[in-house]
Structure 1
Amino acid sequence: MYQKIYDVVEKRGRTRTGIILGGEYAGLKYLAEEDCFFYPDNKTGEKAAEDFLKETVTAAVETGVVKVKNQEIFVEIYEKNPRLIILGGGHVSLPVAEIGKLLGFHVTVMDDREDFVTQERFPQVDERITGDFETLSEKIPPYENAWYVVVTRGHLGDSACARQILKRPFAYFGMIGSKTKVRITREKLLEEGFTEEQVNSIHAPIGLPIGGQMPAEIAVSIMAEIVQEKNRHFRTYCDEDVEAAVLCGVSGTMVTIIEKKGSSPRGTGSKMFVFRDGRTAGSIGGGKVEFEAGKHAVNVHTTETRVYELGQGVGDLGMICGGTVKVLFEPVNV
């Protein structure tokens, strides 16, 4: 199950799952991008439960516990390896690419002019592509966690990019330009049959309105808007140590914080993989809670949840930690 989840998020950059926490079908899990279900041992398929779980996961926008019809479902939205795809290699693209790399994006720049996507011009980017913007779909594979910045030199290039981007998954699509340029592109897309909803998903004019005039200032406004959108909803962090432990192909228990109240060092979605011999990878915050959860996880063979109290105390720095965390235990068998 988790091997498939991590495989999907590695390939697509984003995926979502949901697991029923209680009742007859506790432990039933759904992986959206593969449209597949994982049943606990000794359980068989049940269409009503599957439809209910699928509908809930599809509607969710962030990681957390969703309560529907007295049923609790823990939904996780995983994101990893964000790709910043800059279409147009002009003067604004240079600082956008630099800031994108600084923020941890895999950066691609594409332009129809060969001398605008050279190694010398963009030494820091991961991929440089030369080609007509009409060939975007051939040059750049679709990717769930893709952030498109369209900064071509005219509305023809904008339209060519837009009509292809709107037909594929994306996390963000922004387009630079004057009000006139944006209006022309918008009208053209509507005439071609794209819906108002699709066209309205475009951030145009691109960027936060901070009054930038210089290319670097415009780049800051663009990347600020991308960061704002990226952090609008809470996602599950893909801990590389936990992923590596799962991909070893050894049985164990996945331990996940699904709810927290009060002050806790790690948030919802934090994970720790516990091997059958007690070794661990990742962390759900350390301390007493992690110790007790790790000790319990060694012998877990069915999906279950437990609530742990966070101890209170005042140290030399005057720090106080209190509250509760709800922890999900999922057996991972190979």
Structure 2
Amino acid sequence: MYREIYHILEKQGKLKTVLILDGEHQGQKAYRTDLGWQGTDPRFDWHPYEEALDQIEETGIKQIYGVSFFVEIYMKNPRLILLGAGHVSCPTAKIGKMLGFHVTVMDEREEFLTKDRFPDADVLVPAPFEELSARIPAYANAYYVIVTRGHAGDGICVRQILDRPYTYLGMIGSRTKVRITMENLENEGYTREQLESVHAPIGLPLGGQMPTEIAVSIMAEIVKVKNQHYMAYCDEDVQHAVEAGRTGVMVTIISKSGSSPRGVGSKMLVGDDGKTWGSIGGGRVEYEAIRYCTQVVSPECVSYNLSNAEQGNLGMICGGQVDVLFERI
């Protein structure tokens, strides 16, 4: 399943997976698609858990109806999409690129949409906003910034974005302009929940008036949204090994306390030949986990005690505990 996970992640930038940790269905695993939860065993019915699983927004162990689930939310390759190539978009594109976003800028005014004005942009889309859906592929880990020159352009963009997945949607403008746009959309049948997902007026209230200051407030809000929930760390060495067809045992930290150097979701692939990709923190825990991989047949969890307080611990002074999931792939 990991090859499918990484393939989907590259296409849409965001994916939620889940593994049952205990009970009679221990080891059942699935990932979320537009069609629902797709599992390793098509005979298993995920419907009783779907609503609760859909509401989970961060990586970790969750209890649902007395069953323990390890939920992972992967995010990578965030895309910043600027709709409008005016004076605010230029510094926003620059800051976005500095923060690691793939940057797209769209505007029908070709004289504004030039490499001289947007040297940091990855993609320039010279087209009317009515063509947004056709010209910019849908992508789950997308951050849309609507900075068109009027509420007509804003509405055209918002309508199309509300019908596709996104992580962030913000719209610049005065409170009056925003109110008019939202009232029009509500009259057209868009739900209150949909409209409340729009950050408008856009940006954190930093009090700035200059284009660069406004750009800082926009990207500050985007960074806040991007990091508000704990996500699974996507180790590209592990991903590339899986995509290359390597087999072995996937080792994942599913919970921790104390001074463990790596967080929940950290992964290491231990190949059948003993070669490793990624890390769960090095040191004694990683050493013991690698040794344990030789006896893994089906998904199972092992707890490693990092303190000297109990018999059978790892004899470390940092303290705490790390729970590690082993999956043969």
Q: Are 1:289 and 2:291 counterparts?
A: no
- In the alignment, the residues of structure 2 paired with residue 61 and residue 288 of structure 1 have an alpha-carbon distance, to the nearest angstrom, of 32
Asked whether the equivalents of residues 81 and 144 of structure 2 are also in contact (C-alpha less than 8 Å), the reply is yes
Alignment-derived partner of residue 206 in structure 2: 210
Structure 1 moving runs of 4+ over 4 Å:
none
Q: Which amino acid aligns with 1:256?
A: T
- In the alignment, the residues of structure 1 paired with residue 50 and residue 293 of structure 2 have an alpha-carbon distance, to the nearest angstrom, of 28
Q: Are 1:37 and 2:39 counterparts?
A: yes
Q: How many pairs does the alignment contain?
A: 321
Asked whether the equivalents of residues 17 and 57 of structure 1 are also in contact (C-alpha less than 8 Å), the reply is no
Asked whether the equivalents of residues 248 and 269 of structure 2 are also in contact (C-alpha less than 8 Å), the reply is yes
Cα distance, 1:205 vs structure 2: 0.3
Cα distance, 1:45 vs structure 2: 2.1
Q: Are 1:179 and 2:175 counterparts?
A: yes
Q: Which amino acid aligns with 2:3?
A: Q
- In the alignment, the residues of structure 1 paired with residue 153 and residue 304 of structure 2 have an alpha-carbon distance, to the nearest angstrom, of 56
- In the alignment, the residues of structure 2 paired with residue 146 and residue 98 of structure 1 have an alpha-carbon distance, to the nearest angstrom, of 17
Q: Are 1:106 and 2:102 counterparts?
A: yes
TM-score, normalization by structure 1 = 0.93
Alignment-derived partner of residue 267 in structure 2: 271
Asked whether the equivalents of residues 139 and 165 of structure 2 are also in contact (C-alpha less than 8 Å), the reply is yes
Cα distance, 1:185 vs structure 2: 0.7
Q: Which amino acid aligns with 2:86?
A: G
Alignment-derived partner of residue 20 in structure 2: 20
Q: Which amino acid aligns with 1:23?
A: G
Q: Which amino acid aligns with 1:153?
A: R
Asked whether the equivalents of residues 250 and 275 of structure 1 are also in contact (C-alpha less than 8 Å), the reply is yes
- In the alignment, the residues of structure 2 paired with residue 217 and residue 206 of structure 1 have an alpha-carbon distance, to the nearest angstrom, of 13
Q: What 5-or-longer segments of structure 1 have no aligned partner?
A: 313-318
State which of 125, 148, 155 in structure 2 corresponds to 1:152: 148
Alignment-derived partner of residue 315 in structure 1: none
Q: Percent identity?
A: 57
State which of 301, 322, 327 in structure 2 corresponds to 1:325: 322
Q: Which amino acid aligns with 2:320?
A: G
Q: Are 1:134 and 2:130 counterparts?
A: yes
Asked whether the equivalents of residues 106 and 124 of structure 2 are also in contact (C-alpha less than 8 Å), the reply is yes
Alignment-derived partner of residue 117 in structure 2: 121
Asked whether the equivalents of residues 273 and 280 of structure 1 are also in contact (C-alpha less than 8 Å), the reply is yes
Asked whether the equivalents of residues 65 and 75 of structure 1 are also in contact (C-alpha less than 8 Å), the reply is yes
Q: Which amino acid aligns with 1:22?
A: D
- In the alignment, the residues of structure 1 paired with residue 268 and residue 49 of structure 2 have an alpha-carbon distance, to the nearest angstrom, of 25
Cα distance, 1:321 vs structure 2: 1.7
Q: Which amino acid aligns with 1:21?
A: L
Alignment CA distance shift 1:296-1:136 (3 Å): same
Q: What 5-or-longer segments of structure 2 have no aligned partner?
A: 309-315
Cα distance, 1:81 vs structure 2: 0.5
Alignment CA distance shift 1:288-1:215 (3 Å): same
